[in-house]
């Protein structure tokens, strides 16, 4: 039987190993390319109508046109979000876009870790321990059972976070544009006013861009914590920094930051970083920053690889 070819762009070593491991089970021949997709690398997809891309690369009109010229009809992004792809341009060119679902437990577990690190002053504790300062923090930590957690977005990941929070005995409030989960829903205004911790789990689109803006940050409970493992641009970062600096907010733990592209997933040890918002955040004692790594577990990677392959095979079958 003839194998289906898939060109896989921007493939890291761990992903490449999994694609090589699982592709034969599905009768797929992967062409694994380390470089990211672009107008210049589009010709590498020639012969395969299906390609896979990562979530780190912006795919604009020029790249889409080049892919179309090389016979690409389907793009499967190895992410849930598609905001890095010009969807309207793809539609006009007749290119279908697909995303993948993966274990929500990966991001949910990480979210709980960031919540606990925030309310227990983990950044201060670890930094001081590194220089052999073992005194107790000036301010004691807090316990989740005494707090109200607001979950902004109750899709698969938001629901998984709620499931985990239930075991801590805290009060849980939720807000979603389309309430469907088993949760205590309130208005967005009430969520902000009542939550000691606000955790974000919404997709990024025109409706949710800067959903946490200056005005909404000002309406939050004094001393509240903000956790974001979704997309950086859900938050007006400048407004967040000001609220952290002046004590309006108690802290923030961010796995995603506006303008992270070209910085996160790269070794910038000896390179200049021009994202001033990121640099300001990292200097704050009450801000924890991690490089968009919440999804990164073995289980999630397996889900991403297998679902990518299945997406492409389903498109091929439909095309035939």
Which residues are marked as active site? 231, 260, 292
Residue with the two structure tokens 């990562």: 54
How many Cα neighbours within 13 Å face the side chain of 91?
3
Query: At which residue do the structure tokens 């039987």 appear?
Result: 1
Token reading at 236:
């007006």
DSSP lists the bridge partners of residue 289 as 254
CA separation for the pair 120, 209 (Å, rounded):
30
- Biggest alpha carbon distance in the chain? 68
Residue 253 DSSP one-character state: E
Residue 133 buriedness (CB in 10 A; 0-12 / 13-18 / 19+): exposed
Nearest to 22 by CA among 311, 296, 308: 308
Please list, in sequence order, all residues whose beta carbon lies within 8 angstroms of the beta carbon of residue 69, skipping any fewer than 6 positions away: 42
Contact 157, 181 (CB under 8 A): no
Cβ burial 196-217 (10 Å sphere, 16+ → b, else e)? bbbbbbbbbeeebeebbeeebb
Residues 6 or more apart whose Cβ sits within 8 Å of residue 108: 157, 160, 161, 163, 164
């Amino acid at each position: 039987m003839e194998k289906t070819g898939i060109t896989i762009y921007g493939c890291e070593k761990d992903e490449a190993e999994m694609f090589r491991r699982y592709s034969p089970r599905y009768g797929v021949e992967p062409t694994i390319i380390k470089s990211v997709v672009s107008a210049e690398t589009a010709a590498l997809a020639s012969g395969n109508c299906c390609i896979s891309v990562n979530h780190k690369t912006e795919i604009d009109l020029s790249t889409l046109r080049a892919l179309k010229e090389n016979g690409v009809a389907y793009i499967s992004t190895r992410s849930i979000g598609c905001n890095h792809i010009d969807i309207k341009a793809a539609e006009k060119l007749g290119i279908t876009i697909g995303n993948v679902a993966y274990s929500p437990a990966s991001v949910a577990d990480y979210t709980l870790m960031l919540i606990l690190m925030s309310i227990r002053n983990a950044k201060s504790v670890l930094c001081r321990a590194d220089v052999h300062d073992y005194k107790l923090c000036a301010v004691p930590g807090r316990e989740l059972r005494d707090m109200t957690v607001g979950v902004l977005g109750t899709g698969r990941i938001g629901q998984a976070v709620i499931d985990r929070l239930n075991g801590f005995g805290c009060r849980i409030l939720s807000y979603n544009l389309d309430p469907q989960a088993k949760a205590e829903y309130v208005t967005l205004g009430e969520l902000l006013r009542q939550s000691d911790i606000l955790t974000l789990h919404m997709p990024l689109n025109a409706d949710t861009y800067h959903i946490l803006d200056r005005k909404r940050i000002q309406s939050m409970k004094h001393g509240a914590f903000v956790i974001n493992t979704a997309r950086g641009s859900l938050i007006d970062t400048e407004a967040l920094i000001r609220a952290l600096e002046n004590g309006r907010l108690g802290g923030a733990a961010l796995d995603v930051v506006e303008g992270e592209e070209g910085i996160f997933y790269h070794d910038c040890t000896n390179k200049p970083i021009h994202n001033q918002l990121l640099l300001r955040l990292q200097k704050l004692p009450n801000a924890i920053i991690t490089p968009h790594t919440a999804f990164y577990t073995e289980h999630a990677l397996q889900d991403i690889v297998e679902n990518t392959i299945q997406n492409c095979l389903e498109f091929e079958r439909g095309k035939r």
